[in-house]
Amino acid sequence: MWEPDCGFAVKNSVREAWMELIKNISTAEQPYLFTRHVHFLNFSRFGGDQPVYINIIRDPINRFLSNYFFRRFGDWRGEQNHMIRTPNMRQEERYLDINVCILENYPECSNPRLFYIIPYFCGQHPKCREPGEWALERAKMNVNENFLLVGILEELEDVLLLLERFLPHYFKDHRKLGNLTVTVKKTVPSTESIQILYQRMRYEYEFYYYVKEQFHLLKRKFGLRSSNGNSSPRPEFAIPSPLETEEPVTEDEEQDDEKWLEDIYKR
């Protein structure tokens, strides 16, 4: 449990980090492209100019599998090189069979660790880290209102074509871009494991299919033919309905940032 003075210090450090990020991006010499893993931050609420947000997501299970094996074996740069960079990983963890991880409900293969994509779009509110309808709806709202484009990795060429049209100064020679980090030793889990992952990641998939649908609408608007890409098909088995959760708050009902930060660090 945080002591009051400690909580206040941590709360201030979070806000200071936000303000520093906003300042650095807002005052950078233009044109400026900032690429980092950052949960959505509304600059305008802190007196800054809202940047142009773009993002690309991929099939949630494919993303999970790539991350699982990359953590253990790296990419084309070599397994031995990757082991040197992850010296604290125990051998039993490195060589843990992915089916065992999923079927025996290891933390790495369960929620909240599997709830990964939505929080980046949901934002900074602590409820954005909790798998549920609230975070899902907030993420969808931010996609609609605050992102110029959210593309699908399985249709990367079309994403780059749209970015070239929307932001030609940054993407006018996009054909030089490519994937240089192919994960090695990646295996496909069993059908049973895949089904369990779908069930555990149902919110992630609802968000993924929503973004994919919006992306295809945008493609048609600009004359690009939609394709199914190489993403995983919808499962033939039923995905459980979302759990009953409280309704997402509206902008008018949203807690003040100061208030919910205080609540976090009182715990």
Which residues, in sequence order, are bridge partners of residue 56? 151
Rg (CA), the chain: 20
Residues marked as catalytic:
37
- DSSP structural state of residue 231: S
C-beta separation of 50 from 146 below 8 A: yes
Each residue's pLDDT tens digit, 95-128: 999 999 999 999 999 999 999 999 999 999 999 9
pLDDT at 174: 63
Q: CA 44 to CA 63: how far, in whole Å?
A: 31
Does 197 or 258 have the greater pLDDT score?
197
CA 131 remoteness from chain centre: 13
C-beta separation of 22 from 43 below 8 A: yes
Q: Where are the beta strands (DSSP E) in 83-202?
A: 147-152
Residue 98 identity: I
Under 8 Å CB-to-CB from 113, ≥6 apart: which residues? 107
Categorize the per-residue pLDDT at 261 as very low, low, confident or very high, splitting at 50, 70 and 90.
very low
Measured in degrees and rounded to the nearest 5, phi and psi for residue 53 equal -90, 135
How many Å is the maximal CA-CA distance in the chain?
58
Each residue's pLDDT tens digit, 27-84: 888 888 888 899 999 998 888 888 999 999 999 999 999 999 988 888 766 656 666 6
Each residue's pLDDT tens digit, 143-183: 999 999 999 999 999 999 999 999 998 888 766 666 666 78
